[in-house]
Amino acid sequence: MASQEIEALSGALARLPGLGPRSARRAVLWLIKRRETALPQLLNALTQVQELLVECDTCGNVDTTNPCGICTDSRRDQRSICVVEEVADLWALDRARLFTGKYHVLGGRLSALEGVRPEDLTIGQLLDRVNQGGIDEVVLAMNATLEGQTTAHYIAERLEDAPVRVTQLAHGLPVGGELDYLDEGTLAQALRARRPVG
């Protein structure tokens, strides 16, 4: 029978994506064995995240400033916005400097199954950004899943009357492929070969 403290930490870790109760318990034991070395590092990193990181009101990125470093970077192409589902997708695309414009993070994807509706995502904010003008191209970089593609179609429809070119990642993307898991070569290829929606 584990102590209350261990149960509490295991329980908190088990809620993390990709970790179940079993791996959470193993992680806790690993940390306890390294309480002098790894634990302070982890505590420090967690505190930094809590104290310093904020969500960008413009694009939804997570950074130490709001607006974020990407939104305020004047060397970037101000006229194109790449729309992604999650911050992790933004990071995947930006890691290799594949895209030089700005981003927009939706905060998820439309899902009838999970009850995610358009108003649950930042689609309204995206339309506002486009309607403010100065944007030439919106690149829809949703995952190659059914829900990702449904979301892309929905946004493309909403942008139909806007004076922007709406493009979509080429489907060299494997079906079911999530951006975050793709290697940079595949991502670069999908981005280079992007095509108009419709």
- Interaction site with Zn ion (CB under 5 A): 56, 58-59, 61, 67-68, 71
Rounded to a whole number of angstroms, the minimum distance from the CB of residue 119 to Zn ion is 21
Rounded to a whole number of angstroms, the minimum distance from the CB of residue 73 to Zn ion is 9
Rounded to a whole number of angstroms, the minimum distance from the CB of residue 104 to Zn ion is 9
Q: Which residue, 71 or 110, is less far from Zn ion as judged by CB? A: 71
Q: Which residue, 71 or 166, is less far from Zn ion as judged by CB? A: 71
Rounded to a whole number of angstroms, the minimum distance from the CB of residue 8 to Zn ion is 35
Tell me how far apart the alpha carbons of residues 122 and 100 are, in angstroms, rounded to a whole number: 21
Q: Which residue, 58 or 151, is less far from Zn ion as judged by CB? A: 58
Q: Which residue, 90 or 159, is less far from Zn ion as judged by CB? A: 90
Rounded to a whole number of angstroms, the minimum distance from the CB of residue 195 to Zn ion is 26
- Other beta carbons within 10 Å of 191: 19
Contact 20, 30 (CB under 8 A): no
Rounded to a whole number of angstroms, the minimum distance from the CB of residue 69 to Zn ion is 8
Contact 180, 86 (CB under 8 A): yes
158: its two tokens: 């909403």
Q: Which residue, 126 or 197, is less far from Zn ion as judged by CB? A: 126
Q: Which residue, 47 or 72, is less far from Zn ion as judged by CB? A: 72
